[in-house]
Structures are given as structure tokens and as C-alpha cells.
Structure 1
Amino acid sequence: MNASEEIIDLNADLGEGVGDDASMLELVTSANVACGFHAGTPTLLLETCRAAADAGVRVGAQVSYPDLAGFGRRFIDVAPADLVADIVYQIGALEGIARAVGTTVSYVKPHGALYNSIVTHEGQAAAVVEAVGLVGGDLPLMGLPGSAALRLARDAGMPTITEAFADRAYRADGSLVPRNEAGAVLSDSEEIAGRVVRMVSDGRVVAIDGSEVVVDAESICLHGDTPGAVEHARAVRRALDEAGVSVRGVRRGGRSGGRSDS
């Protein structure tokens, strides 16, 4: 496929009370909005959903462990029934907020430690999938390609969205380098932009050990709380435009579509 035929969604974590959400909403097509368990207040989430609606950016529920103190980046061995209830609660709360400002929740993306846990943790992955199914089953689950959660979601007949990360280093097995390890977070805007173009056009990224990893991504995450996040996002948009890649948001059914800013 030629670069001119490529389509990609850009998502960012917003509503967390950190970073420049207003600027990020000018650059991304999907907003992973915090649901209050790792960050965000009702007022902030209402403002974020309203701003996303005004910008024509789709809203996703960024569910997490109940971990405000640790920003959702600490593993919690939550009982399956409790994790199901926690996630149903978070999606429901954000859906109510989103509808109040004229938009809706279009997908679900776990945050932080929960996101990483359900790559391999079968029990928690099953709980996440069960929770999303309980709120209707038509909401796509966004996650890492090859993860247990996406496999279980597909087995249940639920739509999924595969994701790659613009500013995070990869291991040779396709998993992310933990944040507490050197080199886990990239800081050079042009390097990040070049990686994203290659992810989209060639489906590959260079791992931290120099090997090449196959990447299957329908959406690219640009972390809004990373230092220089807005500059990174602008560099990515510019590089994608120059490569002829169309940037469009994910639909509720899990495919890219809708507004194009390219």
C-alpha cells in the first residue's frame, strides 16, 4: 500500500490535570479521558469532554486501577469481581459526562499499570473484557497487539483497536520498556515523528536492543503528560502530512473514519 493510502488515528491521555490539553486537542483525533480513578475530577472531566466535542475529537474512557496516589501506574491485585465493577463504574460515569456535553464514549482504553497488566494477566484481562461487554459490548477495546485482553475481546465478538506508542521504547518481544528503565521514554521530537511514520508505513519499529519489531497499529498514542508532548505531537502531525498519511479518529465500531485533518 502506498503512503497516500494510509490512515491512522492519533490518541492522547487527557483530563488528567497535567499537560496542555487544549493544544493536544488541536492535534489528535481521539482523547483518552481519565475517569477519576487515577486522575481527574468531575469538573475537569466535564471540561475535557466539552473541549473534545468542540474540537471534533472522539472521547474514549481511560479506565484504571483506583490509584490516585500512584497515578494508576502501580499494579493492584484487584479481585476480578471488583475490577469488573470498577471499570463498569468508570465507563458509566464518563458516558454520563460525555452525553451532557453532546458527545459520547466511543471506545475504552485502560491506563498505566492496568494497560500493561492485561497484556499477559489472563484474569484481569478477562475482567476488563467482561466489564466492557456489560456496558453494551459494542465499545471497541484499545490495547497492545498480541495482548491477552484483545485476544479475549475478539473471542467474545467485541471490536478492538490495536495501538502503538510514539514516545515509548519497545522490547524485542513487542512489549513496552518499563518506565523505570533507562531509555523507556523518548524525548527527541524528530526521532519520535520518524518512528511514527515508519510504524504506519512499514509496520515496524526498532526495539531498544536494535532489533526490529513488527507493529500492527490502528492508533498511535501521544502521551500528553510527557515533557515536550505538544512539540512531539506537532512533529508527528507534520511528518504524517508530508508522508501522505491521513489522520482520522476511531469510530465506535473500531475502524478509523470521520473527520480528517490531513
Structure 2
Amino acid sequence: MRRCDRALRAAAARMREDVATVRAKDPAAGSRREVLLYPHIHALWTYRVAHRLWRRGHRLTARALSLGARAVTGIEIHPAAVIGRRFFIDHGTAVVIGATVRIGDDVMLYHQVTLGSTGWWKDMRRPAGARRHPVVEDGVVIGTGASVLGPVTVGAGARIGAHAVVLTDVAPGVRVTAPVAEIHPPAAGPPTATVHPPGVTVPAPAQPAAALVAPLLPAAGPAPEPAAAPAPVRIRPVRIRPVRVRATRAAALPSAPGPVRHAVPPTAGP
């Protein structure tokens, strides 16, 4: 009974320490209740339960818990990984932590960080039980989108910048940065064509009259003299008189024919 009470007190103290770590490293955390909504907290606490089950041999249950935490938080932590105290993942989306990863105390990761291996084609040639993932010592900060791959060691207090790819060991206190994007001034020359959305009519730029007439003039020589204006032509109006049509007496038409009488020969008497 006393042993169970001591375990519960230790777990509660570790949970309070996790909440205090988030409030100390994230200015956006306003209160303890707000910290309880952080995906990092749910992923970390689920990992601890899964890690304990993994060490006791309940590996299927541990992997099921890990899968559920990944579906809810977007953070994938293998139950076999070893993580120290005051560990913090800011934002946490798309973070991957492999099976043989070893993380020390006071380590901070940002989102989209990968602590993985260099590939199965190399891992299959390693001896059984060999380390395939990195070791991150105390006080290391790994920036957004960085990848630490293979059995490398990141020394204590090192800083790995955003989007850096680390494939070799990093000495303690060293800063690792990725190439920074170069900014070039606009190139000299004609402006590029502007693409307008369909259905939008853009008026053509106005041009001076000289620029419009210049292509019509001859290449060399004086300009031709203007031709004399023709004399005006008078056009007399034409008067159109209406045509009078006299009424004519219609020709007498024959009257309607009467019934036609045919001559019938007299019949012969008796």
C-alpha cells in the first residue's frame, strides 16, 4: 500500500513538473489549465505509460497506446525510446522519435523534428541490438523541421537550427545551422508581364501621338507637303413631283351569261 502511494506521489510530482516546464518555455501558455490542452502533454504522459508497459513485456498494448497518442496529437514516440525529465515539444505536429533514441534532461524540440535512422538498407546490416537512432544529451534545442538521423550523438547544450540535416556527431555547445535563403535584387531589364485573372480587362497604356504616327512616315527625307483642299461642289436639291394617275373608265364587261339553251330536235310523232 505504501509502495503504491509513493508511486502515485512520484507520478503527480512529475506531472506538475511537466506543466511547469511548459509554462517556463512557452510564453503563450497563460495558465496551468491551458497547458493541459497542449498535445505535447498528452503525448508525453501516454508515452510514459506505454514505456512502462513495454519494459514489462506488454509490447502490443504499448504500441496500441502509442498509436492512439499519434492519432490524437500528431506526435509519434516509440514506447522503447528513453526520455529524460523536463522534456518539451513546442507545437508538436509531425515529430517522430525512433525506438533506440536516448534523450537527456531539459531537451526541447520544435515541430516536424525527426530523430530517426538513415534507412532500413543500412539498419539490416547492423548487428542485433545495435543502436540505430541518435542520442540527444542534456540541454539540447532542435529547431523546426530538423532531422537527426543515424546512431549519432548530439552533445550537451548544442543548438540545431531549423531544417538542418545532421548525419554526424555534434560536439557539446556547437551551433548547427542550415543554409539560409539568398535574397537577390530585381534584375535590370523590361518588366515582366503581369498575369491577370480571367475576365479582367486591363486597358492598354496611353501612347503619345508621335509614337503612333512615326511608323507611318518614311524612313528618310522631308515630310511631304499637304495636298491642296479640293473646291467645294454645290449639289442642287432634286425636286420630286408626285405622279397623278387619272381614273379611266373601265371597259364594259359583258353581263353574266344566262342559262344556255340547247336546241333540242323535235321528236318524231307517231
- Larger relative strand fraction: 1
User: Rg bigger for which structure?
Assistant: 2
- Larger relative helix fraction: 1
- TM-score if structure 2 supplies the norm length? 0.27
- TM-score if structure 1 supplies the norm length? 0.27
